[in-house]
A and B are shown apart, each in its own frame.
Chain A
Amino acid sequence: MAGVSRSAAPLPPVLAAPALTLLGPAQGPLPWPQLPLPLAGESVAAGFPSPADDYIDVGIDLNDTLIRHPSSTFFLRVSGDSMTGAGIQHGDLLVVDRSLEARPGQIVVAVLDGAFTLKRLVHHRGRLRLEAANSAYPPLELHQCGDVQIWGVAIHVIHSFSRHG
């Protein structure tokens, strides 16, 4: 699993307006069942309480760990090999946060000709462009292609070693 660097989310303007009351971040339910993995699972001999009992945690939930903004985070399936240089393979699961502002250096999902396209946003000679991470694919100059929308910022890619692992 390769983590792609992610930037801090810009502060919602409501935080900056002192006259408004803020009630804590949204913790919406996640769209799939949660599967906590037990962190410590020692079998315990009967009779003596295990000294480790006090340290057993509830488990690791990858949703909690990987996703900071559940309501604006979407999963996409990668098709193609233009991003292999960034560790993203054909068939990988891409985790995309739409609430992050795209910055140069980040891997982004762009809408191009009615399809989701995966590229790295790069600052090149004073202009922004979208680059593949595979020399077989030429870069796209943003000022030359008419209508490109940055849909979201890739925050993780999940690569399974077996298709149904």
Chain B
Amino acid sequence: MADALVLIDANNFYASCEQALDPALLGRPVVVLSNNDGCVVSRSSEARQLGIAMGRPYFQIAEQLAHHGVVVRSSNYALYGDMSQRLMSSLEPWVAELEVYSIDEAFARLPRPRGGDLSPWARELRSRIRQNLGLPIAIGIAPSKVLAKLANRIAKADSRHAGLFDLSRQADPDPWLEGTPVEELWGVGRRLGRWCRLRSIANARQLRDMASGELRAKAGVVGVRLQLELRGVSCLPLEEAPAAKRETCVSRSFSRPISELEDLRQAVASYVVRAAEKLRRQRQRAGRLTVFARTSPFAPNFFSRAAGVELPLASHDTAVLLQAALQLVPALHRPHRRFVKAGVLLQDLQPETQLQQHLLAPLPPEQQQRREALMACIDGLNRRYGTGTVQWAACGLQPDWAMRRQQLSRAATTRLDDLPTVWAR
């Protein structure tokens, strides 16, 4: 019997993480806000039942949330990142192959047992993850990745499935495919979705059964694969090792609009510092750096600028990247504009090892080594004692434009000073 492809994901991941480490939140409605406390990005099932919608701006519903006694949290990426690692490494012994697809979902492959029924396996896995990590998960099982994603959606949509749905075990899969709008399919973007609708193809079953030639003409080999996957032919492989990243971006909205050049310089500088850290963690160097800033698209006189530079030598040295970025900032700045967001994009990323000695290298090799040691030391201190322990003066001290995270929970699993309390009383 063919292997099963499975999509496992955590329900309401951010809200579930908050509940997992804070017993006061168990059974209570919880919402998590996006960066800068902008809008609702995750709701616990209790909050969902209250009818609180995803994506609503916080300021619009703050009163409603307070009225219902909803607990509001800012995004706590230290906690979610750690819980994600715990989730993924907990899944590994349960499957033959695992592809970590995002912070809260993974594709897996495993052989079907005799008789083909994976539901005892799936039920046991769900209860284990629930007990060991406090996270609810949903499991979709099918012969291909596209169908596994679809099955997972069904598993979550109806509580009668108890978080688990095996499409291959249905006598007739067609009604399930018909119940899935074409836009909800994994791999169908906005454009392909619109194209389908124009041809009266509204659901997954109709896309599966449409003429292949027409789909190939529109979407090429991607469309052909999509259709094969819908027919239960697995042709998208599991990617166990993620491809090396081609670019790294750090951008944030400010807590209030900024107009001064010096504030913009500090903001960009602090994003460069973050991006350079990411780069060193990925063991990469950047050959190109772009900075950008914009005003609010909802305000009159929208203004947006980007400026980039090729680096003479690919680098992951914060000082080198800062120098390059800060030279570009005046090109972004206009007096009297109210900037609400800025960022830095590092491109042309190369593996650390590929660096060639360069005639124009700014530093002799032994000095270069000392700089690398300095970067490693700064990264080590910031990891150990918390982000911002060692700072770059260019970022400014206690900037008042920094991201708003007023409802941030503690880094309960990654910092000794933030551990939850257990009462002996």
Task: Name which residue of chain B comes closest to A10, CB basis.
Answer: B128
Tell me if A115 and B23 are in contact (CB < 8 A): yes
- Given A20-B110, A20-B121, A21-B96, is A137 in contact with B425 using a C-beta cutoff of 8 Å? yes
B191 CB-CB contact with A under 8 Å: no
Do B86 and A79 touch across chains, with their CB atoms under 8 A apart? Answer: no
Q: Which residues from chain A contact B424 at a C-beta distance below 8 Å?
A: 78-84, 88, 90, 117-118, 132
Q: Which of A17, A22, A75, A115 contacts B93 (CB 8 A)?
A: A22
Given known A-B contacts A17-B121, A20-B110, A12 and B128 have beta carbons under 8 A apart = yes
> Which of chain A's residues 57-83 have a Cβ closer than 8 Å to chain B?
69-72, 74-83
| Complexed CA–CA distance, A33 and B381 (Å) | 10
Q: Shortest CB–CB separation between residue A109 and chain B, in angstroms? A: 5
Question: Which residues of B have CB within 8 Å of A20?
Answer: 96, 110-111, 113, 121
A26 at the interface (CB under 8 A from B): yes
B383 contact set on A, CB distance < 8 A: 33
Q: Is the CB of A93 within 8 A of B133?
A: no
Q: A13-B120, A26-B92, A98-B131 are in contact. Are A77 and B113 (CB under 8 A)?
A: no
Q: Is the CB of A21 within 8 A of B133?
A: no
Closest A-chain residue to B120, C-beta based?
A13
- Of all A-B residue pairs in the complex, the 6 with the closest CB atoms, nearest first, are A28-B89, A80-B424, A19-B113, A72-B132, A26-B89, A80-B425
Query: Which B-chain residue is minimally distant from A151 (CB atoms)?
Result: B23
B124 in the interface (beta carbon within 8 A): yes
Main secondary structure on chain A at its contact with chain B?
A: loop
Q: How far is the CB of A20 from chain B (nearest CB, A)?
A: 6
Residues of B within 8 A of A (CB): 21, 23-26, 82, 85-94, 96, 110-114, 120-121, 124, 128, 131-134, 380, 383-384, 413-414, 416, 419-425
Once the chains are docked, how many angstroms separate the CA of A98 from the CA of B93? 17
A-B pairs with beta carbons under 8 Å apart, 10 shown:
A19-B112, A28-B86, A28-B89, A69-B132, A80-B423, A99-B131, A111-B23, A115-B421, A115-B423, A117-B423
Q: Nearest chain-B residue to A92 (Cβ)?
A: B424
Complex alpha-carbon distance, A153 and B82, angstroms = 20
Kindly list chain A residues whose C-beta atoms are within 8 Å of the C-beta of B112. 19
Q: Is the CB of B421 within 8 A of A76?
A: yes
Contact A14 B93 (CB under 8 A): yes
Given A69-B132, A116-B420, 7 further pairs, Cβ under 8 A? A20-B96, A20-B121, A21-B96, A24-B93, A71-B132, A79-B422, A114-B24
- Decide if the interface of chain B is mainly helix, strand, loop or mixed: helix
Which residue of chain B has its CB nearest to the CB of A27?
A: B89
**CB closest chain-A residue, reference B23:** A111
Number of interface residues, chain A, beta carbon within 8 A: 51
Cross-chain contact B420 with A13 (CB below 8 angstroms): no
Residues of B within 8 A of A149 (CB): 26
Given known pairs A98-B131, A98-B133, the reply for A71 and B89 (CB within 8 Å) is yes
Contact of A94 among B21, B96, B121, B422 (CB under 8 A): B422
User: What residue in chain A is nearest B414 (Cβ atoms)?
Assistant: A31
Residue of A31, A70, A93, A109 with most partner-chain B CB within 10 A:
A31
Q: Please name the residue on chain B nearest to A88 by beta carbon.
A: B424
Interface residue A25 (Cβ < 8 Å from any Cβ of B): yes
Known: A77-B421, A98-B132, A118-B422. A13 touches B124 (CB 8 A): yes
